[in-house]
Chains A and B, each alone.
Chain A
Amino acid sequence: MSEKSKTLPKELQLVASAHVKYIQSLDTRKDEYEYWLTEHLRLNGLYWGLTALHLLGHPEALPRTETIDFVLSCQHENGGFGAAPGHDAHMLSTVSAVQILAMIDAFDDLEARGKGKAQVGKYIANLQNRQTGTFAGDEWGEEDTRFLYGAFNALSLLGLLDLVDVDKAVDHVVACANFDGGYGVSPGAESHAGQIFTCVAALTIAGRKNLVDADRLGKWLSERQIAGGGLNGRPEKKEDVCYSWWVLSSLEMIGKTHWIDRDQLIAFILRCQDPENGGISDRPGDMVDVWHTLFGLTGLSLLEYPGLEPVDEVYCLPKSTTERILGK
């Protein structure tokens, strides 16, 4: 697996097997307070961990049947998924559920043992604001382009994008654009790399990438790389491994990945590894977590670091998954 990188100097090596062990250990930490405090992220965490394992070439490292059982145990009557059993349904966990089931080819189980694809599609579609085109996270109404992207991601994987008003949603994304080529969380909000990813990816799924001001956006995104090689999310902010995903995937979608320094970013991400216990942190020397582990790996994958499976820059899933489902 990381054999190919073995020839690289030590500080440029990915400690792949330590990362696999780290991810496998996540669900065994029930004697840590943090484990219980983060239950509201359990399904997201499973998606982050499982995607990382797929990119590392170890999809089998988490047992498939138990994974499906757990995902289905989070589903509500209305089709939506909560973060864990006993947690309310929410767009974010519903998208994670769909992504997990997509990755392990388990939509049939959703049909047979869960509430079915159609019900999931209905839950998501009902969260669209039909006036403005954007989406809420749940019945309580908080709206954000993150939810719009999530809806597009999950619905297109389910083959149900026609349940929503795509044109209205596209109009909303366009209204979030700024003069610097970036996008904000809502119309009027400043450009932010996370939001740029959600907006550009949503436009890509809708087949409307032509609406992006690629040149100006590319400039803004490429300026996110700062001394030390890492990327930040906004001007004059610190670098952070998770932006290796938000910034880089956006650059990839507009064909400008070569506008930043590949080698320096690779070196930065690798410096954030915990070489003993596995996992990747936001910056060198910080606590690792599964979120930064995934986005460090997706970043490396986009940069074609040897030995990693290719990641889909729009869906944040292994390319093999989106090829199987979408025929891309």
Chain B
Amino acid sequence: MADQGGSAHGIARTSRVRTEEQRKVELDKIAKYRELEDQVRSGVARGDTSPGLFQLTSKLLRLNPEYYTVWNVRRRLLTSGLLSKSSAASSPLTVSLTASPTATTTPPSAALSSSSLSATQPSPASPTAGRSGTTADSPAGEGKVSAADATPEAAAAAGQKKDFDVLKSELEFTIPLLLDSPKCYWIWSYRLWLLQQVIDRLSVSMARRVWQEELGLASKMLTRDRRNFHAWGYRRHVVAQLESPRLGGESMVEAEFEYTTRMIRMDLSNFSAWHSRSKLIPRLLDERGADDSTRKGFLDEELGLIREALNVGPEDQSLWYYHQFLILNLVNPVGHPTLTPAFSLEDRVTYVTREIQDIKELLEDYDDVKLIYEALLEYTLYLGQLQGRKLDGAEKDELAEWLQKLKKLDPMRNGRWTELERECGLVEMEAFET
């Protein structure tokens, strides 16, 4: 299975021999860990729902954030007591039970009255309190029910305030763990679950505030590791939620496009940022209501940007993938969201021909960069397909020359070059020449 957890990536091989002293220290560490684990397990078995058990899970997860079952224990503790019971209002079952037609349009937690009051037990100190001095120590129980909250509206508001505090505190709890283990699937998944709770339990404006901050976290993670695909995926998810009607959102495509521009400026070879950009463009142009000439201008600008980048870094695959994305838009407009639907065949041919010409010029400075030859090969074949014609003799000569170069510069992929040579009908031609 594609689960990379628990495997040793990038840790230097050392001898396993331990001194007796080291062994004792390790055994001691194991005993403490297992004792903690036992406490959590027996608490769960007893049906304990106390903050005490909750704190033990914090301790255990700090030692081992991969322990998915303990994350689940924590979820169950939250839903069975530490959070108000009000989220049930958003489940289909409860919606069908509430006869009032207005009930479904009320924020979920407000749709319940007396039951949320009874569920809003006075909360003890923050369930995540523990490590000294972290924000997780801030009390999450400020939303205590008091006599003044006795009206259904006030109780609902208090319930929401309490849930807000609990969920915020939980979100804080995962931050240091994420910073330590940015590739741990279980932490990301727990965090997403929390954020779903935020949507289900809090008012739109409160939920929006929380999700807005998530975008900041996604940016922070991407500053630390620009290629972390968990963080990129997370960012996409956060943006999609912030755009959704459930959070009273609107399109963020302009801002996100801007973000990819910034990331690319910082580091041209950020494939993830280029990828993200390619996914945003079709929507961006649609939402701008771009007309044909604007679209053409946009394509020109993108081609200019990528060509400039290629002029300095032609050995960078990320750049070529983005260039390929733009070219595919020209040669294979069917089945892809296309940038320039109004382009005539002639326009497309002109553009591809011009790109091929420009790439050939790159060879003047970089005649030993194999990606250049690869692009030339590919685009020349595209051009033939686009025009529905066989390649002419001059083109075939070029193809043969580039393939020879590729075989020399990139012998690892000789199987591919030989196959391509055969497919292009170049093998016989060579036989003629010799």
Contact = CB atoms under 8 A, between A and B. Distances in A.
Given A178-B275, A222-B416, A291 B6 contact: yes
Contact of A180 (B67, B192, B193, B321): B321
Given A178-B275, A180-B324, A259-B415, A96 B1 contact: yes
Contact of B271 (A40, A236, A240, A260): A236
A287 B69 contact: no
Contacts of A289: 6-8
Given A190-B271, A235-B318, A282 B8 contact: yes
A288 interface: yes
A172 to B, nearest CB: 15
A100 B411 CA distance: 40
A237 B318 CA distance: 11
Interface of B, helix, strand, loop or mixed by DSSP: helix
A246 interface: yes
B160 interface: no
B8 A292 contact: yes
A294 to B, nearest CB: 10
Nearest to A86: B41
Interface string A70-100: 0000000000001100111010100110000
Contacts of A179: 278, 324-325, 328, 336
A292 B272 contact: no
A302 to B, nearest CB: 15
Interface stretch (A11-19, A106-114, A157-165, A194-202): A194-202
B279 A188 contact: yes
Interface string B10-46: 1111101000000100110110011001000100000
A23 interface: no
B316 interface: yes
B13 A281 contact: yes
A183 to B, nearest CB: 12
Nearest to B29: A33
Interface in A100-132: none
B6 A287 contact: no
A271 interface: no
Contacts of A286: 8-13
B4 interface: yes
Contacts of B415: 258-260
B317 interface: yes
B5 interface: yes
Interface in A21-44: 31-33, 36-41, 44
Given A37-B66, A140-B72, A195-B2, A287 B8 contact: yes
A186 B37 CA distance: 34
B1 A33 contact: no
A82 B69 contact: yes
A44 B3 contact: yes
Interface string B229-253: 1001100100000000000000000
A219 B318 CA distance: 14
Contacts of A54: none
Nearest to B326: A179
A67 interface: no
Contact of A225 (B3, B11, B41, B412): B412
Interface in B301-334: 316-318, 321, 324-325, 328
Interface in B166-196: 185, 189, 192-193, 196
Nearest to A229: B412
B27 A31 contact: yes
A235 B317 contact: yes
A86 B60 CA distance: 15
Contact of A261 (B9, B189, B412): B412
A308 B67 CA distance: 35
Q: Which residue, of B4, B64, B75, B321, has the highest number of chain A Cβ atoms within 10 A?
A: B321
Nearest to B34: A36
Given A41-B6, A235-B318, A140 B75 contact: yes
Contacts of B317: 223, 235-236
Contacts of B422: none
A33 B33 contact: yes
Interface of B: 1-14, 16, 23, 26-27, 29-30, 33-34, 37, 41, 63-64, 66-69, 72, 75, 185, 189, 192-193, 196, 227, 229, 232-233, 236, 269, 271-272, 275-276, 278-279, 316-318, 321, 324-325, 328, 336, 411-416, 419
Given A33-B30, A37-B64, A285-B12, 20 more contacts: A36-B34, A37-B6, A41-B66, A44-B6, A82-B69, A88-B72, A140-B72, A140-B189, A146-B1, A146-B3, A185-B233, A190-B276, A198-B2, A218-B416, A222-B413, A222-B416, A236-B227, A236-B317, A246-B2, A259-B415
29 contacts: A31-B30, A39-B67, A44-B3, A45-B6, A82-B69, A83-B68, A83-B69, A86-B41, A88-B72, A142-B193, A149-B2, A186-B233, A189-B232, A189-B233, A195-B2, A222-B416, A225-B412, A234-B229, A235-B321, A236-B271, A236-B317, A236-B318, A246-B2, A259-B416, A259-B419, A261-B411, A277-B16, A282-B10, A287-B12
